[in-house]
Amino acid sequence: MEIDSKENISPSRLAWLRFKQNRMAVAGLYILAMATLIAILGGAIRPDSTKNANSQQVSLAKKGINFSVKTLQVRKNAEVANEGFLKQFFFGGKENPHRIIPIHSYSFSGDSISGYIYGGTDQARGEPFAFNLLDVVEPIDIATLNQRGEEIFANSVSGERISATRSHLESEILTNNLSTTRYLFGTDKFGRDMLSRLMAGTIVSLSVGLISVLISLLLGISLGAIAGYFGGWIDDFITWIINVVWSIPTLLLVIAITFALGKGFVQVFIAVGLTMWVEVARVVRGQVLSLKNMEYIEASRALGYSTFRIISRHIIPNIMGPVIVISAANFASAILLEAGLSFLGIGAQIPMASWGQMIKDHYAYITTDMAYLAILPGLCISLLVLAFMLIGNGLRDSLDTRFTA
């Protein structure tokens, strides 16, 4: 059905219909939706569900794509708190109740499981290990011993019952504690799952982009609307501030603000947000200047409406089209700035999974056969930035009143 043939259709619905006709913009929207889903589900879908996907295994460092190894999960000697979904999301995952031990070989003998730790290759054996069967399955603490004391330790009165308990524990270990772990994208130089780290990096990039854009919108819309509506010395003063901030290179300004606020994840999106508001303010100021003398604004003043109501309910809703387009571009810029700051070591701090930090850790391998350790996070940055640029271009075209179907 042609858009031009539709009558009595709302502007927002018309803009959506136009947007859907832009295949590249829709493709960008799908990429963004996938990245958002990965960020929201977090550790629930990552191969490594630990906080920030930071489970390190030195013997597994720099393993190739689709590498696999047999692992033994040994219960930690403490109960792990059951963390809620929001806490897992904001803190990048949950604590693993087990210690993950890569193994070369194993065997059961009496009350224990023993063997050799993985030594770096399929042929190399590392140090020997030996664990009591119960230690592998249960944490060694008084509460657990009391809970399972009658079930297991009281079996000492009967050798037959001891044998049955051992068989049960061996079966439980074979089913739940011994497995083959596969690393689809290999491991980094610290032995961490590369795929999980890339997935965890989406949380950092999208969070920084979202909070930075919200900060820039709050400052930019407020100052731009005030400057454009009131004019005079207020407009001159705000415009002077905009020009001063605009004249400073963005990256240098972000670095200066970061040094002033300190290093850290929160400081990054505050610093980025405080540098991106000027473009929003300039556009909003220009739009308000063109609207404030329109007939409906004059009518609002004649009816005695307050300045706040005129700006918030009659002007700002009518200038959101250009602001939305700028926000999409600013989102992409925020992702690039965060990656750049993390590469310089003043962005998101370890052990947080930042794509920029991952490039910094592995850029020395770019001329080796492990160049993908630096290329993969770079591709993630490029893909997410491209998605926002495609969405921004699609929004620009769909919100253009001169559009013809």
**Does the pLDDT of residue 1 top 70, yes or no?**
no
Other C-beta atoms within 10 Å of 229: how many?
Answer: 19
Task: Report which listed range, 73-77, 231-235, 348-352, is most confident.
Answer: 231-235
**pLDDT at res. 240:** 93
Range in 65-79, 85-99, 340-354 with the lowest mean pLDDT: 85-99
Query: Which ranges of 42-93 does DSSP label H, i.e. alpha helix?
Result: 85-90
What would be the CATH architecture of the domain defined by 6-36+195-398? Orthogonal Bundle (1.10)
Q: Can you point out the beta strands (E) in 80-124? A: 98-109, 112-118
**pLDDT at res. 77:** 73
Contact 351, 52 (CB under 8 A): yes
**Does the pLDDT of residue 271 top 60, yes or no?**
yes
Reported as a pLDDT band with limits 50, 70 and 90, residue 151 is low
Mean per-residue pLDDT, 388-403: 79
What region does 93 belong to: left with phi over 0, alpha with psi -120 to 50, or beta?
Answer: left
**pLDDT at res. 91:** 52
Reported as a pLDDT band with limits 50, 70 and 90, residue 29 is very high
Q: Where in the chain is the domain with CATH 1.10.3720.10?
A: 6-36+195-398
Mean per-residue pLDDT, 354-373: 90
pLDDT in tens, 190-203: 899 999 999 999 98
CA distance 375 to 229: 48
Reported as a pLDDT band with limits 50, 70 and 90, residue 404 is very low
